[in-house]
Chain A
Amino acid sequence: MKNIFLLFALGAVIIGNNSGCKNAANQATDSTKLSMTVDTFLASPEKWAGKEVVITGTVSHVCRESGKKLFLFGSNPDATLKINAGGNYSTFDLKYEGTDVEITGTVIEDEKIDANYLNEWEADIKKMVADKNLKVCSEDAKAIAGQTKDTTSKAAPEDPFAGVNEFRQKLEKSGKAYISIYAIDAKNLKELKKEASVN
């Protein structure tokens, strides 16, 4: 029994210390938070990299498999922003789909779209085209497209490779090895008051 008590005591000490750190961290970041909409963020995502932000938007999708990510949109449902679960949320509940929320979190570089990424993306699309029954979640691609200045779908909506080809051109034009795509590592999620309608 002594051993069990020791375990309890050790756990209590660690939890106690951890809560203290968490409170201190919250106090430190409160004053540096930047509030904005999804539209404002997507206009120049690189501007907010590494910063603590508060973003409002509507949840378009919560990952069905893991619940570890959700996607927010603002005025344009074609342009979404990826939010990774974290902080008080290890996973996001599907009930948030269609809900207006306020996300507090840190802006991170989530993806580096380079030549290899594009090759893999192209291979996935080829598989999907070959096997009509194969379902591939397109939400990540939509979030990536949301951070590019031109919309890929308008050029040739029927062409499944339009997005990849457009990215190749952009990458070439940029002269860089990769294009950064940003997401938010969430610390907190607040459900906003239900509105009567949208659109």
Chain B
Amino acid sequence: MSSNGSKLFRKWNRILHRDIGYFFFGLTIIYCVSGIALNHKKDWNPNYDITYEDFSITDTIDKSSVNEAWVLALLKKHNEADHYKKYFFPDSGTLKIFIDNGSVSVDMESKEGYIEKISKRPFFYEINFLHYNPGKWWMWFSDIFCLGMITIAISGLFIMAKSKHSLSKRGIWFILAGLIVPLLALIILK
């Protein structure tokens, strides 16, 4: 490449790297933070904060003795009567009552129950929502984002002018080192 051609290439390479990087800064943070959150969903619920409150009942109940009045009386004791939605029996020994933002479960044999309250985790709920591709147009936008990331990665290889830190000297070793981890994963995990 001629000197002028090389200068022009480096100029546009820097422009692309810089401006696409600026433009996708927010989305990169959103995808990375939600990615970490969703990676660990076995250890925590990244979307909801779920709390449990145990209680006992004194009445002896079975399917035939439970009605809406009994359910409402139970909910009233726990200040949840205004949130009542409906109830059903998921199996012969369990009563489940749906309330707004949660549910109540009662083991009719042991007379033990718990109230499950669910609230959305602020910030995480929203960014995880975006991570899950909420709509077709968002899917296309996230595809463009991925193309942007590829462009940033490739243009990043040619940011440095010829020196001991450029791609052909230092860079190539770092690239190879970075590829070892996914290769090892393929060998070990597959």
Using a CB–CB cutoff of 8 Å, the interface residues on chain A facing chain B are 1, 3-4, 7, 10-11, 14-15, 18-19, 22, 58, 60, 64-68, 73, 77-78, 88, 90-91, 94-95, 97-99, 153, 157, 194-199
Contact = CB atoms under 8 A, between A and B. Distances in A.
Contact of B85 (A10, A66, A99): A99
Contact of A15 (B129, B140, B148): B140
Interface residues of B, number: 36
Interface stretch (B44-52, B161-169, B177-185): B44-52
Contacts of B101: 94-95
Nearest to B133: A90
B86 to A, nearest CB: 4
Interface stretch (B15-23, B53-61, B73-81): B15-23
Given A7-B144, A14-B140, A95-B101, A60 B41 contact: no
23 contacts: A3-B19, A4-B19, A7-B23, A11-B144, A14-B140, A15-B137, A15-B141, A19-B137, A58-B88, A64-B45, A65-B41, A65-B45, A67-B132, A77-B89, A78-B91, A88-B135, A91-B129, A94-B48, A95-B100, A98-B85, A153-B91, A194-B85, A198-B87
Contacts of B122: none
A18 B136 contact: yes
A65 B48 CA distance: 9
A10 B151 CA distance: 15
Given A4-B19, A88-B135, A77 B90 contact: yes
A37 to B, nearest CB: 15
Contacts, number: 85
Contacts of A98: 85-86, 98-99, 103
B65 interface: no
A66 B48 CA distance: 11
Given A91-B129, A94-B48, 7 more contacts: A10-B144, A14-B140, A18-B137, A60-B90, A78-B90, A157-B92, A199-B88
A interface majority secondary structure: loop
A19 to B, nearest CB: 7
B134 interface: yes
Contacts of B135: 88, 90
B33 interface: no
Contact of B68 (A10, A64, A197): A197
A14 B140 CA distance: 7
A18 B88 contact: no
Nearest to A153: B91
Given A11-B141, A90-B135, A197-B86, A3 B98 contact: no
B118 interface: yes
Contacts of B148: 7
Contacts of A99: 85, 98
B9 to A, nearest CB: 15
Contacts of A68: 132
Contacts of A3: 15-16, 19-20
B165 to A, nearest CB: 26
A77 B144 contact: no
Interface in B9-34: 15-16, 19-20, 23
A64 B144 contact: no
A1 B103 contact: no
B146 to A, nearest CB: 12
Q: Top 6 A-B pairs ranked by shortest CB distance?
A: A98-B98, A98-B85, A90-B132, A15-B137, A198-B86, A90-B134
